[in-house]
Amino acid sequence: MTARKTAARLAIDRHAEDLVRLSERLHADPETAWEEYRAAAAVPELLDRAGFAVTARYLGLDTAFHATYGTGPLKIALCAEYDALPGLGHACGHNLIAAGSIGAALGLAEVADEAGLTVEVYGTPAEEGGGGKIELLDRGAFDGVDLAMMAHPAPVDVAEARPFAVSHSKISYRGKSAHAASYPEAGVNAADAFTVAQVAIGLLRQQLPSSARVHGIVTHAGDAPNAIPEQASGRWYVRAETLAELAELEPRVRRAFEAGALATGCELTVEPESKPYAEFRADETALAAYRANARALGREFAPDGQAARMNRASTDMGNVSQAVPAIHPYVGIGSLPATNHQREFAAHCVGGPAERALLDSAVALAWTGIDRVAA
């Protein structure tokens, strides 16, 4: 244990109550992608009070922020996510991600001048579909960063992120309305187009790689049972091991949606909701340091298995990892049998085990940043 690591942990301990309150505040007031106005104002408050230079509405994104401390040559970045899931609240624990990243930044700020660090915090909106980090990357964020980090809640601890690449699309069919009893032959049924497309996707799965995932929801399919639906819409995700594999897979899935349009006579529109999320490229040196630091805090990494599969979840942090060295470990909150994106998991994202995970992740990330100085 170095003096710098001791100082960083003591700084995080001093802010522990405020970090827990921040997490609870976000959890009680969930906001979805691109709507995180209250979160984007609340999350950097501790940083502002600690002397960070905070920029709101960073790079033209209303719910992004950027905060910096120190002027050293080594740039360590922490990513704070804070968007929630529609209808499920913080069922992926982004309240803990935000508070943990703020805690790690406060710990690193304590030793920034001595260690030659510039500590940067990126408030990154719209991870749950929307690609906030990709938008920030495209606008020049993360330039010159030597290491970007965050820790994501999960049922159990897993060090290495291995997420799927993923594309997000809005699918729309336009048909023609008609009275369903009196003049059904005059209608063009947009809801039926989705039925055909989903059957085609179901049959396609037999020929897809075992790693591929195709899934989505129909969000609108008519307004009245006695009227042929003239419009239907949905949101669909396609996942693959890599962006290259995804590029090969997407046209095959699109043909299934085209089949729905062809069979029913509808017009099809496919609109990307963001640029595709990339697979993750972990910085092995930082990953090894994180493993050692987490174990020093008494955390144990789970063996491969169902409980550890959250590390396959897609994230726009993958795109960051393609641009700069990065890690994205998972910190367990003891939620089993509840897993991410369940209401029961959201309930586990506050309380004792969640608070321990928050503070442990903050310390482990700060210590990993300090290890980078010595690397």
Domains 3-163+277-374 and 167-272 in one fold: no
Q: Does the pLDDT value for residue 305 go beyond 80?
A: no
SS in 3 state form for the chain? CCHHHHHHHHHHHHCHHHHHHHHHHHHHCCCCCCCCHHHHHHCCHHHHHCCCEEEECHHHCCCCEEEEECCCCEEEEEEECCCCECCCECCCCHHHHHHHHHHHHHHHHHHHHHHCEEEEEEECCCCCCCCHHHHHHHCCCCCCCCEEECCEEECCEECCCCCCEEEEEEEEEECECCECCCCHHHCECHHHHHHHHHHHHHHHHHHCCCCCEEEEEEEECCCCCCECCCEEEEEEEEEECCHHHHHHHHHHHHHHHHHHHHHHCCEEEEEECCCCECCCCCCHHHHHHHHHHHHHCCCCECCCCHHHHHHHCCCCHHHHHHHCCEECCEEECCCCCCCCCCHHHHHHCCCHHHHHHHHHHHHHHHHHHHHHHHC
Report the C-alpha gap between 39 and 213 in whole angstroms: 31
**3-163+277-374 belongs to which homologous superfamily?**
Zn peptidases (3.40.630.10)
Per-residue pLDDT at 249: 96
Query: Which residue, among 243, 2, 22, has the nearest Cα to 121 in the 3D structure?
Result: 22
Mean pLDDT of 297-325: 91
Q: Do 64 and 87 form a contact (C-beta atoms < 8 A)?
A: no
Parse the chain into domains and list their residue ranges: 3-163+277-374, 167-272
Mean pLDDT of 72-99: 97
Mean pLDDT of 99-118: 97
Any idea which architecture 167-272 has in CATH?
Answer: 2-Layer Sandwich (3.30)
Query: What tens digit of pLDDT does each residue of 123-145 get?
Result: 999 999 899 999 999 999 999 99
Please state the pTM of the whole predicted model.
0.93
Q: Does the pLDDT value for residue 304 go beyond 90?
A: no
Quick one: pLDDT band at residue 1, thresholds 50, 70, 90? low
Q: Does the pLDDT value for residue 309 go beyond 90?
A: no
